[in-house]
Amino acid sequence: MADGFELFTDRSVVAMRVNGELKDLATTVTDADVVEPVTIDSPDGLSILRHSTAHVLAQAVQAINPEAKLGIGPPVTDGFYYDFDVAQPFTPEDLKALDKEMARIVRSGQRFMRRVVTDDEARAELASEPYKLELIGLKGSAGHGEGTGDDHESVEVGAGELTIYDNVDPKTGETVWKDLCRGPHLPNTRMIGNGWALMRVAAAYWRGSEKNPQLQRIYGTAWPTKDELRAYQHRLEEAARRDHRKLGAELDLFSFPEEIGSGLPVFHPKGGVIKREMEDYVRRRHIEEGFQYVSTPHITKSGVFETSGHLPYYADTMFPPMELENSEYYLKAMNCPMQNLIYRSRGRSYRELPLRFFEFGTVYRYEKSGVVQGLTRVRGLTQDDSHSYVTAEQAPGEVKHLLNFVLSLLRDFGLDDFYLELSTRDADSDKFKGSDEQWDVATNVLREVAEESGLELVADPGGAAFYGPKISVQARDAIGRTWQMSTIQYDFNQPEGFGLEYTAADGTHQQPVMIHSAKFGSIERFFGVLTEHYAGAFPVWLAPVQVVGIPVADEYAPYLGAIVEQLKGAGVRAELDTSDDRMQKKIRTHTTQKVPFQLIAGENDRSAETVSFRFRDGTQENGVPIADAIAKVREAIADHRQVTTRDDLFA
């Protein structure tokens, strides 16, 4: 018999796994137990660090404001939060005071001590905490006091024993604070160190429901060291600089007029250029990959979504139905049911399979206003949506074809760091339709193709759609953030629901497999991701203005204007700046607008029939013959090249 303190002398070990379950280091284990150390820099260790820091925050809040009532305080990606019911919202001055009190608690080295309690004991000890009492009443559902999840997760009390964690003063042995929690926690507050910070305050409904009271949520972050905290803060600053909402306004790409409504963007002329280039490219690629272009309407009768199975599963994220001519109509929330009707419009033969349909289908989803975020979470989105109808034998080859297509397309847009996520069903949930055998076959097809790709494969249990498993491509951007991009989904349910058939070689009628795929995911979201990936400095082929001509003086405008016209004739998006601004201000303006090429001409260039290049980083290449200059620009466009410096074009 021993505990974790005796087993592990490495000070980076903050918890342990005992027979696969996370436990405090104070837990007693036997020789028969399988015990593994959990270090503070591991994913589990970081969650424990952040969870413990959330408890210190809650203790600090109640030390300063004893009337504050506790909600929940889980770790989340890169940090933590805790919800409080307080009379007045927190102010920046409040956060400063909390920061000081938290630092005191951390230095004091209070021990986190776990106790098992009965429901009645917990109610007695936490009688003044109404939200904790509610959690105790929810015992039996998923979760326990607190847990991990995103900002919108409602974390509840789980089945099994209830536990309270006491914060114990190491000098007196007295409990100075307590909270209902399943743990585990760090051994003591001193191990939190100085790599933490409070970030911001937001409002949040209790357990994520608008029917419940609105609480005050404090967000924070915690890292093993101060250096890691600073690195994270630097990443946040870089992310803020790249924020597509900020750049969208600065570069005049898109906006979100309040008159139209939340989550419904409009694209301005410059943004429209980028969007058109994206659409033209992906349309051409689909045709090259054997897809046929189709189009479906924006509304449909409710029966279509009942047949597909999307009602009632997705009813909460669909706009309310409209009554028209004694029928109920919905705004389209997904394209697949209508493409099924195109397939079913006439008899199909095995000779036609794989049959591949593709459309730019605009769909509408009722996202809550609190989760709408720029272009990356909208209510109106256009998907480059495709559906392949194949025989069961063709399914593995089609999935492989689609995955290769997706990866090549993303690489053409400058994203080339990927891993894959395999979303499967939760066997205990009644959300998923179909037999065990169908799910096993579909999951194995996706898993084998994903593994064959050689990319890292991460499991996502329970994340599948109701109709089948999926592979999602996760792409890392220029600053290392991960974005879910394309998806490939294996569907055996909708073909059955719509009665889809094909005539096999032996004359029998067989049911096809349907494979969903969206390469961008949505054009709006992909646009936002690209904007942040490139920090608004798009590759030449996507840039709204590819070349701007800047004469040294007005007398050289006709000479440079003729070159601009030649560029336009060659299909280049080129402009001549004839404003009254001085040359240096023109250069600053177009550098700020992230135009790839500025062509400058004065007397030397006019006399020699040349032009001078200025690049985004301020480097230059002077005296380039006009024909060579046009050829270089066209070459950069054709190659989908990112050009920032002189060496990117003239190396």
pLDDT digits (tens, 9 = 90+) for 543-600: 999 999 999 999 999 999 999 999 999 999 999 999 999 999 999 999 999 999 999 9
Is 55 known as a binding-site position?
A: no
Check if 268 is active-site: no
Domain spanning 43-238: CATH superfamily = Threonyl-trna Synthetase; Chain A, domain 2 (3.30.980.10)
- Residue 307 exposed, middle or buried by CB count within 10 Å (0-12, 13-18, 19+): middle
Cα–Cα distance for residue pair 125/117, rounded to 1 Å: 10
Query: 547-551 and 574-576 as β-strands: parallel, antiparallel, unpaired?
Result: parallel
615 HSE (CA, 13 A, CB side): 17
More confident residue, 510 or 462: 510
Cα–Cα distance for residue pair 644/534, rounded to 1 Å: 11
Residue 145 has pLDDT above 50, yes or no: no
pLDDT of residue 114: 96
pTM summary value: 0.84
pLDDT of residue 159: 53
Residue 505 has pLDDT above 80, yes or no: yes
Task: Quote the distance between the C-alpha of residue 188 and its chain's center.
Answer: 34
Q: How many C-beta neighbours within 10 Å does residue 601 have? A: 23
Residue 157 has pLDDT above 60, yes or no: no
Tokens of 557: 């405008």
pLDDT bucket at 3, cuts 50 / 70 / 90: confident
Check if 383 is active-site: yes
- The mean pLDDT of 515-529, rounded to a whole number, is 93
Are 460 and 423 within 8 A, CB to CB? yes
- The mean pLDDT of 2-27, rounded to a whole number, is 89
Q: How many C-beta neighbours within 10 Å does residue 32 have? A: 6
Check if 516 is active-site: yes
Check if 365 is active-site: yes
Of the residues 110, 216, 383, 546, which is catalytic? 383
Residue 144 has pLDDT above 80, yes or no: no
Of the residues 310, 516, 519, 616, which is catalytic? 516
The CATH number of 547-650 is: 3.40.50.800
- Residue 295 exposed, middle or buried by CB count within 10 Å (0-12, 13-18, 19+): exposed
For 216-274, the DSSP string reads EEEEEEE-SSHHHHHHHHHHHHHHHHH-HHHHHHHTT-EE--TTT-TT--EE-HHHHHH
Of the residues 365, 533, 586, 590, which is catalytic? 365
pLDDT in tens, 310-369: 888 888 889 999 998 899 999 999 999 999 999 999 999 999 999 999 999 999 999 887
Residue 102 has pLDDT above 60, yes or no: yes
Host H or E run for residue 73: none
Is 185 known as a binding-site position?
A: no
pLDDT in tens, 298-318: 999 999 999 998 888 888 889
Residue 40 has pLDDT above 70, yes or no: yes
pLDDT in tens, 198-217: 999 999 999 888 889 999 99
Q: Over the chain, what is the mean pLDDT?
A: 92
Residue 243 has pLDDT above 50, yes or no: yes
Tokens of 240: 């803020």
pLDDT in tens, 116-132: 999 999 999 999 999 99
pLDDT bucket at 152, cuts 50 / 70 / 90: very low
Tokens of 528: 């936002």
> Where are the domains positioned within the chain?
2-39, 43-238, 248-533, 547-650
* Contacts (Cβ under 8 Å, ≥6 apart) of 590: 545, 548, 550, 577, 598
Of the residues 385, 477, 491, 577, which is catalytic? 385
pLDDT of residue 291: 96
Cα–Cα distance for residue pair 604/606, rounded to 1 Å: 6
Residue 524 has pLDDT above 50, yes or no: yes
Q: Where are the beta strands (DSSP E) in 131-174?
A: 162-168
pLDDT bucket at 139, cuts 50 / 70 / 90: low
pLDDT of residue 147: 41
- The mean pLDDT of 82-107, rounded to a whole number, is 96
The CATH number of 248-533 is: 3.30.930.10
Q: Give the percent of the chain with pLDDT over 90.
A: 84
Of the residues 23, 111, 356, 470, which is catalytic? 470
Residue 141 has pLDDT above 90, yes or no: no
Where do runs of H (alpha helix) occur along 289-350?
Answer: 302-308, 310-313, 336-343
Is 387 known as a binding-site position?
A: yes
